[in-house]
Amino acid sequence: MKAEEFRDLDNTELSHRLGELKEEQFRLRFRQATMQLENPKVLQEIRRDIARIKTIIRERELAGA
């Protein structure tokens, strides 16, 4: 997803999405370790989406303070 799409979500949806991405990242890392991951680029995309969500959450925290 792009950052604009994440910005349209509220904080609870962002937190929920962050949890889903971390869970999927865990599963994909496990599959990579067992050599069953077809596209390793997916891990990079998920890691970047997690960083985007954390950045948006932090921006909102600083704007509210």
pLDDT tens-digit map of 8-59:
999 999 999 999 999 999 999 999 999 898 999 999 999 999 999 999 999 9
CB burial readout 34-44, b (16+ within 10 A) else e: eeebeeeeebe
Q: Where are the domains of the chain?
A: 3-64
Q: What's domain 3-64's architecture?
A: Orthogonal Bundle (1.10)
Is this structure's pTM higher than 0.85? Answer: yes
- Residue range 31-45, pLDDT digits in tens: 999 989 899 999 999
